[in-house]
Structure 1
Amino acid sequence: MFYRCSRFGIGFLFKSQYLTVIIILFMTILTGYAQSGSTTKPALNPPATPLLTIDPYSSVWSFSNQLNGDATRHWTGQPQQLNGLIRVDGRTFRFMGNPSFAGETIVPSAQRQTYQARYVTDKPASESWTSPDFDDSQWATGEATFGSRDGDHTKWTTNDIYIRRTVTLDQVPDGPLVVDAIQNDNYELFINGERMTKVSGVSPIYRLTPTNRKASEVLRKGRNVIAFHSQNLSGPGFVDLGLVEERILNYKPATQTGRRTTATQSEYTFSVEGVELTVTFMAPLLMDNLDVLSRPVQYVSYSVRSTDGKQHDVQVYTDASSELAVNSPDQLVTWRRGKAGKLDYMRVGTADQKILGRKGDDVRIDWGYLYIASTTEPGTNRRIGSLASALNQFEREGRVTDMHERMPRTVSDSLPVLATSMELGKVDNKPVERHLLIGYDDIQSVEYFGKPLNAWWRRYTNGNTSIEQALQDAEVDYTKLKKQCDAFDKQLYADALKAGGAAYAELCIVAYRQAIAAHKLVAGPNGEAFFFSKENFSNGSIGTVDVTYPSAPLFLIYNPLLLKGMMEPIFQYSESGKWTKPFAAHDVGTYPLANGQTYGEDMPVEECGNMLILTAAIAAVEGNATYARQHWKTLTTWTDYLIKDGFDPANQLCTDDFAGHIARNANLSVKAIMGIASYGYLAGRLGDKAREKEYIEMARDLARKWMKLADNGDHYTLTFENEGTWSQKYNLVWDKLLKLDIFPKEVSQKEIAYYLTKQQPFGLPLDSRRTYTKSDWIIWTATLADRPADFDALIAPVLRFVNESPDRIPLSDWHETTDGKHVGFRARSVVGGYYIKMLAEKLK
């Protein structure tokens, strides 16, 4: 979940507020971000770089600025390794990943060996509770795991638990120290009094988290105290952890000389031994070709050339780990090789294929198969086997050869990989190019009210379109798609630059693949397009309306059919009789099972307003209200609800539900008013001018009442008649985009002027309650501004967050404005909302 002044201007902004605005604008210039009219391309340093972005399950990223700085990871943070080596004149260098696997268990978790520890549930009076010398004799003793689930050995039902575990070690390894833990919701770990790590979120399976320390630096022979504190904020509480040594296979890193991110491509350049290597990950997510967008195959390409005037003997190695096909490394996998036309392929998947058998948030796919394919040209060789053996053979021989290795086996047993070596021959200053295809066949993608649905690309012939054919099609299309992606990336940047300036264009780039890849495009029950979102690192819901709402601008620009594909399951859910309430549902299930709402609480005003506004936006983009006509009865029911209960909302959640329940929410009231106005707008598009006039006038009358109830002099309040509070009124943006003129222009002008006095280093807070924010809403709010300088001033800190956040993870939309740290959420589709300014230009 969404867990300028004109006639008010000059006089209003004098004194402290005027000074604050000037300081903000001055700091923006100093930090080098785009100003009004600026076309200078600012630096872009994405917090993580997308490598493979097929769907919410097949989504691999580099969390490091250097492609060879760390293991590549699934967006959830679990290692899903793609490793790359280049061999130049017999010397081997690492350009991708940091090949490693779990080694010796140092301190076992309860999953491996039972243990007892001391614990309390009240915060210790002394801050030294983590110290080895602390006296914990008065603490209770319990056996791990600690939690409120049926299988937990020691009951823990409070918000907090503090645990001290004493272990005696005969020896301490020298390798990197990794934590092996489960938790709900958070834990922080101390070893011998020294803080090691803090982890947020829920992980019901044991998950490895690096400490970035060597085991020998923090552990010692003899007695050690492992102390950890866990919090439970909601749901069942549980915690347990152990310590593991990570085995890293050391290869000298190639020197990364560049990193470039565009909408559809991530490009890295390396310099090594007189050779330049360019590695490009291409995701052809082109929304004018849904067959290609849905096809679960993407590309990694290599271009190598000499830079010192000499010829060099070069080979390139790539492996993809079986981690990409499991939820956790204790699962058994099998593999095989095959041919598809001119391609050789390797595949790996779980031995126990439970299709659509796992749902939830922090989970990874464990059905279907990972494929690696390449042409059968001479000098290209393949091997399926252990990571270490494949790497070692390439280092020795400059190639890999197929070996018969034992299977099935667990991923944690020597880490089976699909390895490919490519002989490039004698390389001079003319680039030599090769590419690989990486694909994932999920067999069936989503279940919708008990019926398994096929991915869009295999919707024909009763879903029998084969992955082998998809791989062949992808190979045939490679050159054409490369040209199309290059052209699209260039055009998208130019359009974003024109709409909002250089800083804004960079934000659009970093949002593009993330927004699309957090969805799955499938064929619905009647062959229609369903485009299901997954609430990544939120609660795992599928088809959430208030995730669709902020995501919508991207899809309204490039293909409204995809937005309809997000909304259609909700419409059909209501119209089937399975959802009987007079307002829109929040979701249709928990990904990938869309069998009905699973979120525990309704958001009636929120979701009705969202669906009405987005239906009007589709009509505005398409120039007709045909889609609205299909669902007119349902839209009327939801409008009636808003008229009755929307203007002065009762105590309820809105899309920003992480902020808690709130009554008389002024921004939510704006949504209700805009929902009613949207209904009137749609009626007019359908030729019902009388109804259009009635509902537009009703909305304008409510807007006038809203201004009185929310008035706080120089701004409008967070909740009605609550002076001294404020909030971003991002829902107002649709009044501007749809040209409805429901609210007087002075409302947004006044708000923008006030917001500029509330900026923090990393953005505008969401409201007066806390200093955290939602970056998508900031961009919606900024789009209310009429002056480009005001838009730029609100956008610049968001780009600063992207570039400087200490949390190098796939882009989070919920962050702290004071220090740039992420608060929660990552890799979510809502960053499609960054495109609201481009949508405003389109609707002009």
Structure 2
Amino acid sequence: MKLKLLIATAIVCQSVSSFAQKQVFKNELRAPAYPLVTIDPNTSAWSYSNELNADVVRHWTGKSFPLLGVLKVDGKTYRFLGKEEAELLPLARMGEHAAWTGSYVVSEPASDWMKPSFDARQWKTGAAPFGTKDKEPNVETDWQEPKIWIKREVELTEDLTGKSVYIEFTHDDDAILYVNGIEVVNTGNSTGKNSRVKLPDHVVKTLKKGKNILAGYCYNRVANGYFDFGLFTEKEGSIQFDNEAKQITSNVQATQTHYSFNCGPVDLKITFTAPMFLDKLDLMARPVNYLSYTVHAKDGKKHQVQLYLEAAPNWALNSPLQDAASSFFTSGNLQFVKTGSKSQQVLAKKGDDLRIDWGYFYMAGAKSKTKSAVGSSHQLRSNFLKSENGSSSNGGQQLALIQSFDVSSSYQDKILLGYDDLYSIQYFGQNLRPYWNNTGNSSIEKQFELADKEYTVLKKAADKFDAELWGTALRNGGEDYAALCALAYRQAIAAHKLVKAPNGDLLLLSKENDSNGSIGTVDVTYPSAPIFLYYNPELAKALMNAIFYYSESNKWTKPFAAHDVGTYPLANGQTYGGDMPVEESGNMLLLTYALAKVEGNAAYAKKHWKVLSTWVDYLVDKGLDPENQLCTDDFAGHFAHNANLSIKAILGIASYGYLAQMLGEEATAKKYLTEAKAMAMKWKKMAEDGDHYKLTFDKSGTWSQKYNMVWDKLLKMDIFDPSIRETEIKYYLSKQNKYGLPLDNRQPYTKTDWIIWTATMADDKPTFEAFLKPVYRFMNETTDRVPMSDWTYTDRPKRAGFKARSVVGGYFIKMLEEKLGKAK
């Protein structure tokens, strides 16, 4: 028997290894955006298009992160990566760069308000950006009302007929924009940062010399408001690499994104690799990714080939208008290019739609095979076209690396990309270095050197890991599930930063991307935790450590858990405007018990028992029928008697009871488990509504996803009557729309992470897959090309908001179910 098992294991391992190396498994999902370079919330670069060369590479916020890749074969160029971004000249700058003054009102004006002939002299006057001044950075004019109407006068020095003109805008939430009275943008219920729309010719023809009018309406549905817009024209003659390589395939896997291209007589394969293995913290935190490539001559003839990779200083700037300093140098066996802001104001900014502007971005290649250059984009590209490569400087700050070689069969090489942020997080007043350099004894050059030496081993490990993740997800949830998990892996991790606290605790601090920029948000930790519970429980602790410290240090004195510990990257205390008492306390208790089940002991709970005891008593007092307060779905606003929130409270109390049991505190265990079961019985009576259970206890005819109940099943808590789950699952199947199950009866929007939690409540794989298919369909068809959104509509392929958030780590809950099933 043992021999047979050993042989079978060997066959499986060999199969997985072969499977990985040949890459025969393919993710057929047309991703909303493709991960390219994923290090942390600051260094996070994506392709927002189906073809790698159809658009500029972008930061997760949507801002341009120019990375341009060109292959020259026998003198002919083929652009395979990124797009030359036409240089835009400002006709009317956005307020974030130069405050402009407009006329505005906050009560609905006459229907012709947007027309140039409308007289707005009675309106108020204010400077842009307009927004919630105490919540949003850069706001000049405070806007607290739900709606705003703004008119902006733009003086042009010439007619623009025949030119390429763009309107750029930032909005939170719904926005409609007009140019000379003609509607050019209507976003619907969504948010956006620095979106850009090219104006149609008939609109451009109206832009005449003299006075022109831009008009905008914005409706802030909930929380923070923000509105800003400007006008730009394209600079002529800025495109030099117009010949595109023909993309053949794309394939997103957990740690890698693969592409293949036809470049005339040669084929090109490109792989972006981020060896973010969660059980190896040094690798997970190493701030270096790879762009590796293989060139294959199709005709067997010898070809002269050069690969050109160019990056912009944007990688190290919040705004491309900031002054940068770029350079090149050699270190060890590597040739480097480097860029960073001149000001280097370390940890000086906090907020959501921000990019890092301290520290330095680097690219490197083997010194023996790589030439470097720094200069203006026009000059660097012209030099490459003329084969005048090498180090130069003509006032510009663009970076380029060029690798030259001959190929008659196949040639392989790589370029390394990385970021040294010097200091990553400010933690209660103290600046913390990144985990990879927490003692100050390393350097970015050493990290690049290690990455270079270990590449071959790490590439094989990445292939194997990707195959294993795909296989596990496929077994548990089907092919659609495997595709979503593969896409979610790097997004979930890169929305965090790993540091070490002064007391030695690991801190894995999330950034609440495209939401409000909070750091260490508990109701972001809660949905993202399954990926970390599955791969490394120490990182699950690292998600919670800051919140425990916040209470235990008496910096947070309320009898429930805090919402956050600040605004990224400043973790100096909660900055969110409203507490979520039941939500966050329930989250912390549930996750502490889930961690104990994964580890097989309650040592972590024992360490934090005093504060857990405070939180559980709050839930006993307030949790059964929650007062008018926010829950994690705070975009839906405050509401009382929330049945799903009550489930969280009850299971949080049960979690405390089971933790007490694991610690041998039998009397305490009995007390809280008895309380939880009694509350669950009351819940059933309060929430029952015929063939389903209510959204709120006081309103019949309502319903909602009871995704919190998944823990009753996964942790085998036996608190709620199992028939509740069965009833709800059956009811949900009748409520699905084309793109998913709505969050509740109030709106057609949903949360994709909660759908997967709800689906995991089902007892069979076909039902699970029935909930997954619409989510897959949404991601495959959405017209919003951004890193996966978790807040989406179910009746149309549009996101309601959010992108690039860590909560997609919650997709791994189905895999976690299998792991917990094997736990002692």
Normalised TM-score (structure 2): 0.91
Tell me how far 1:275 sits from its aligned partner. 1.1
1:169–1:220 Cα contact (<8 Å) kept = no
In structure 2, the partner of 1:690 is 667
Q: Residues 616 and 175 of structure 1: is their aligned pair in 2 closer, same or farther, counting only changes over 3 Å?
A: farther
Tell me how far 1:114 sits from its aligned partner. 8.1
Q: Distance in 1 between matches of 2:49 and 2:293?
A: 20
Q: Distance in 2 between matches of 1:219 and 1:471?
A: 53
Tell me how far 1:146 sits from its aligned partner. 6.7
In structure 1, the partner of 2:78 is 93
User: How big is each residue's C-alpha offset from its partner over 1:598-644, in whole Å with a ceiling of 9 and x where there is no partner?
Assistant: 11111111111100100100111111111111111111111111111
AA aligned to 2:547 is I
Q: Distance in 2 between matches of 1:152 and 1:551?
A: 31
* Count of residues paired in the alignment: 787
Moved more, 155-164 or 308-317: 155-164
Structure 2 counterpart SS, 1:480: helix
Q: Distance in 2 between matches of 1:141 and 1:642?
A: 48
1:196–1:211 Cα contact (<8 Å) kept = no
Q: Distance in 1 between matches of 2:722 and 2:25?
A: 31
Q: Distance in 1 between matches of 2:299 and 2:155?
A: 56
In structure 2, the partner of 1:711 is 688
User: Does the alignment pair 1:667 with 2:644?
Assistant: yes
User: Does the alignment pair 1:540 with 2:530?
Assistant: no
Tell me how far 1:108 sits from its aligned partner. 4.7
Q: Distance in 1 between matches of 2:653 and 2:482?
A: 33
1:814–1:823 Cα contact (<8 Å) kept = yes
In structure 2, the partner of 1:308 is 299
In structure 1, the partner of 2:614 is 637
Structure 2 counterpart SS, 1:100: coil
Superposed, 1:221-260 pairs within 5 Å as 221-222=208-209, 224-232=212-220, 234-235=223-224, 239-245=228-234, 248-250=238-240, 251-260=242-251
2:266–2:298 Cα contact (<8 Å) kept = yes
In structure 1, the partner of 2:786 is 809
Q: Which structure has the higher relative contact order (CA within 8 Å, separation 6+)?
A: 1
AA aligned to 1:505 is A
Tell me how far 1:178 sits from its aligned partner. 2.9
AA aligned to 1:384 is V
2:266–2:295 Cα contact (<8 Å) kept = yes
Q: Distance in 1 between matches of 2:25 and 2:462?
A: 23
Q: Which runs of 5+ in 1 are unaligned?
A: 1-38, 407-413
Tell me how far 1:731 sits from its aligned partner. 0.4
Tell me how far 1:529 sits from its aligned partner. 1.2
In structure 2, the partner of 1:373 is 364
Q: Distance in 1 between matches of 2:527 and 2:96?
A: 41
User: Does the alignment pair 1:456 with 2:435?
Assistant: yes
Q: Distance in 1 between matches of 2:104 and 2:365?
A: 55
Structure 1 counterpart SS, 2:778: helix
Tell me how far 1:231 sits from its aligned partner. 3.6
In structure 1, the partner of 2:488 is 511
AA aligned to 2:216 is F
Matching residue within 353, 363, 382 for 1:392: 382
Q: Distance in 1 between matches of 2:90 and 2:386?
A: 30
Tell me how far 1:197 sits from its aligned partner. 3.1
2:39–2:288 Cα contact (<8 Å) kept = yes
In structure 2, the partner of 1:66 is 51
Superposed, 1:130-209 pairs within 5 Å as 130-131=114-115, 134-136=117-119, 140=123, 142=125, 144-145=127-128, 147=130, 158=145, 159-163=147-151, 165=153, 167-172=155-160, 174=162, 176-181=164-169, 187-198=175-186, 201=191, 207=194, 209=196
Tell me how far 1:807 sits from its aligned partner. 0.3
1:643–1:676 Cα contact (<8 Å) kept = yes
In structure 2, the partner of 1:32 is none
Tell me how far 1:431 sits from its aligned partner. 1.9
Tell me how far 1:360 sits from its aligned partner. 0.4
In structure 1, the partner of 2:282 is 291
AA aligned to 1:281 is F
Q: Distance in 2 between matches of 1:445 and 1:591?
A: 10
2:149–2:215 Cα contact (<8 Å) kept = no
Tell me how far 1:694 sits from its aligned partner. 2.6
Superposed, 1:642-653 pairs within 5 Å as 642-653=619-630
Q: Residues 113 and 285 of structure 1: is their aligned pair in 2 closer, same or farther, counting only changes over 3 Å?
A: closer
User: Does the alignment pair 1:750 with 2:735?
Assistant: no
Matching residue within 680, 683, 686 for 2:657: 680
Q: Residues 481 and 116 of structure 1: is their aligned pair in 2 closer, same or farther, counting only changes over 3 Å?
A: closer
Moved more, 688-697 or 718-727: 688-697
Q: Distance in 1 between matches of 2:798 and 2:88?
A: 31
Structure 1 counterpart SS, 2:87: strand
Q: Distance in 1 between matches of 2:95 and 2:625?
A: 51
In structure 1, the partner of 2:465 is 488
Q: Which runs of 5+ in 2 are unaligned?
A: 1-23
Structure 2 counterpart SS, 1:381: strand
Q: Distance in 1 between matches of 2:703 and 2:95?
A: 48
User: How big is each residue's C-alpha offset from its partner over 1:672-705, in whole Å with a ceiling of 9 and x where there is no partner?
Assistant: 0100110111111112233323322221111111
AA aligned to 1:343 is L
Q: Residues 840 and 586 of structure 1: is their aligned pair in 2 closer, same or farther, counting only changes over 3 Å?
A: same
Superposed, 1:28-39 pairs within 5 Å as none
Tell me how far 1:458 sits from its aligned partner. 0.8
2:694–2:702 Cα contact (<8 Å) kept = yes
Q: Residues 766 and 286 of structure 1: is their aligned pair in 2 closer, same or farther, counting only changes over 3 Å?
A: same
In structure 1, the partner of 2:700 is 723
Tell me how far 1:789 sits from its aligned partner. 1.9
Superposed, 1:260-299 pairs within 5 Å as 260-299=251-290
AA aligned to 1:404 is S
1:142–1:154 Cα contact (<8 Å) kept = no
In structure 2, the partner of 1:478 is 455
Structure 2 counterpart SS, 1:190: strand
Structure 1 counterpart SS, 2:45: strand
Q: Distance in 1 between matches of 2:97 and 2:570?
A: 32
User: Does the alignment pair 1:359 with 2:350?
Assistant: yes
Q: Residues 354 and 259 of structure 1: is their aligned pair in 2 closer, same or farther, counting only changes over 3 Å?
A: same
Structure 2 counterpart SS, 1:834: helix
Q: Distance in 1 between matches of 2:519 and 2:545?
A: 13
1:62–1:72 Cα contact (<8 Å) kept = yes
Tell me how far 1:418 sits from its aligned partner. 1.1
Q: Residues 266 and 693 of structure 1: is their aligned pair in 2 closer, same or farther, counting only changes over 3 Å?
A: same
Tell me how far 1:85 sits from its aligned partner. 0.7
1:260–1:267 Cα contact (<8 Å) kept = yes
Q: Residues 311 and 594 of structure 1: is their aligned pair in 2 closer, same or farther, counting only changes over 3 Å?
A: same
Tell me how far 1:142 sits from its aligned partner. 4.0
Moved more, 695-704 or 832-841: 695-704
Superposed, 1:394-793 pairs within 5 Å as 394-397=384-387, 400-406=389-395, 416-425=397-406, 427-428=407-408, 430-460=409-439, 463-793=440-770
Q: Distance in 2 between matches of 1:155 and 1:813?
A: 29
- RMSD (Å) for aligned C-alpha atoms: 2.4
User: Does the alignment pair 1:105 with 2:93?
Assistant: no
User: How big is each residue's C-alpha offset from its partner over 1:211-242, in whole Å with a ceiling of 9 and x where there is no partner?
Assistant: 37579855544464433223445457553423
Q: Residues 40 and 717 of structure 1: is their aligned pair in 2 closer, same or farther, counting only changes over 3 Å?
A: farther
Q: Distance in 2 between matches of 1:83 and 1:315?
A: 14
Q: Residues 213 and 339 of structure 1: is their aligned pair in 2 closer, same or farther, counting only changes over 3 Å?
A: farther
Q: Residues 519 and 143 of structure 1: is their aligned pair in 2 closer, same or farther, counting only changes over 3 Å?
A: closer
Tell me how far 1:163 sits from its aligned partner. 1.7
Q: Residues 349 and 110 of structure 1: is their aligned pair in 2 closer, same or farther, counting only changes over 3 Å?
A: closer
1:202–1:362 Cα contact (<8 Å) kept = no
User: How big is each residue's C-alpha offset from its partner over 1:557-616, in whole Å with a ceiling of 9 and x where there is no partner?
Assistant: 100111100101101111001111111111101111111111111111111110010010
AA aligned to 2:362 is Y
1:177–1:215 Cα contact (<8 Å) kept = no
1:120–1:139 Cα contact (<8 Å) kept = no
AA aligned to 2:394 is E
AA aligned to 2:50 is N
Structure 2 counterpart SS, 1:304: strand
Structure 2 counterpart SS, 1:606: helix
Moved more, 499-508 or 231-240: 231-240
Q: Distance in 2 between matches of 1:769 and 1:155?
A: 30
1:459–1:527 Cα contact (<8 Å) kept = no
Tell me how far 1:309 sits from its aligned partner. 3.7
AA aligned to 2:43 is S
Q: Residues 81 and 526 of structure 1: is their aligned pair in 2 closer, same or farther, counting only changes over 3 Å?
A: same
